[in-house]
Chain A
Amino acid sequence: MNITLGIRRVGQWSLFSVALLARSAVVLKRPRLLIEQIYNCGARSLIIVMLSGLFVGMVLGLQGYDLLRRFGSTESLGTAVALGLLRELGPVVTALLFAGRAGTALTSEIGLMAATDQLVAMDMMAVDPLRRVGAPRLWGSVIAMPLLAAVFAVLGLTGAHVIGVSLMGVDAGQFWSQMRASVELKDVVEGIVKSILFGTALGLIAVFEGFQSEPTPEGVGQATTRTVVVSSIAVLAIDYLVTAVLL
């Protein structure tokens, strides 16, 4: 991928994002569109997020127990798992899953509408496609992400609890009391701030790729792949920046 093309594309994306954000008022005037998109991005990603959260939590429980056992401090398992989930794994893993499930859905939906002239048809009917199609999807993504990340974290804690307490014998009270003592509100806030930023980035990328796709079946496929790749890198980069700033 050549550099000048890449920079041009970043420029296109930036201008597109500004135009999209400028049309955000529509979600207040037409809440039904937003509700449909929260359903599209959020509710339909719920099962995969819950399952993943559970499994990640269980693995954290196992790995965390094994690691802490070597230092004789297995009752800190709750703290370790909670901090890991709230600050990092919750928002980041959820965002990556979101890019794969919701991001690709958004890009391919919009790309398909472009390929079948639906967006042009809207333009012909004096309906701005960015306003009608793009903005609700962006805000659906922004709203769904933190909710999904929270659900992920809760299920992760559940999974870790099941493994740590029921299987490995960590005291349930220690699990939660150590956690409560060491975890602060700012950790939860950090996680929520990250997931909102992720949701915004993911929404902007997925919608952009959809509108910018070549209106052919191959073009839509390529755009969808690009969404996943660019979103994943963006999430990890933003994660580093936010962590560095907040720490």
Chain B
Amino acid sequence: MMKSRQAVEWTTGLFVVLGFAAIFFLVTQVTGQGLKVNQSTYSLTALFDNVGGLKVGAPVSMSGVTVGRVQSIRYDQKRAKAVVVLAVDQQFNQIPNDSDVAIYTAGLLGGNYVGITAGASDVVFKNNDQIELTQSAIVLENLISKFLFEKAKDGTAKP
């Protein structure tokens, strides 16, 4: 049970470092705040009427493959729309500039993510370009009320 003084000090130091590293990891990698590691990405902006439950950090995918992350979401009062900035991985720099972007839902109660459907243009998006064609998130309540409204219309129209 009696280790040499040096061994005890060394092991304790290791333990303390490990513990603080764990705390550091939890604070930065697990919470919403924390340091952002700089990756080689470029930014694309999109305006939405409704972002639904989209959160910062949600994936951006094309054809189902993740190509980037949502970097920031804010509301622009003047344009009365939500401004979403996407951080797209540098290697995906061949996105046609007539592609459209929509907010999808993963699963029934799942989180939202951004999907880009490629267009046909020869010109590609560059850093800080804005995606013109956007489709907002489908909000469940709107869908249900729309359905009921249609149902009611059919009901009254039929003789």
Do A146 and B31 touch (CB < 8 A)? no
A35→B7 CA distance, assembly (Å): 11
A183 touches B23 (CB 8 A): no
The number of chain A residues with a CB under 8 A from chain B is 42
B19 touches A35 (CB 8 A): no
Q: Chain A residues near B29 (CB, 8 Å)? A: 176, 180
> How long is the Cα–Cα vector from A237 to B96 in the complex, in angstroms?
60
Give the distance in Å from the alpha carbon of A151 to the alpha carbon of B17 in the complex: 11
**Is A174 within 8 A of B59, CB to CB?**
yes
Across-interface contacts of A173 in B (CB, < 8 A): 59, 66, 69
Q: How far is the CA of A75 from the CA of B56 in the complex (A)?
A: 15
For chain B, the count of residues having a C-beta within 8 Å of the partner chain is 34
Considering only residues 175-191 of chain A, those with a C-beta below 8 Å from chain B are 176-185, 187-188, 191
Residues of chain B within 8 A of A188, CB atoms compared: 23, 26-27, 30-31
What 1/0 flags go to B9-23 for Cβ under 8 Å of A?
Answer: 101101110111011
Interface of A is mostly: helix
When the two chains form their complex, are residues B18 and A183 in contact, meaning their CB atoms are under 8 A apart? no
Docked-complex contact B18 and A46, CB < 8 angstroms: yes
State whether the Cβ of B80 lies closer than 8 Å to any Cβ in chain A: no
Interface: B52 (CB within 8 A): no
Q: Please name 15 pairs of A and B residues whose Cβ atoms are closer than 8 Å in the assembled complex, sorted by A.
A: A36-B8, A42-B12, A43-B11, A71-B109, A75-B106, A147-B15, A173-B59, A173-B66, A178-B58, A179-B30, A180-B57, A181-B57, A183-B30, A185-B31, A191-B26
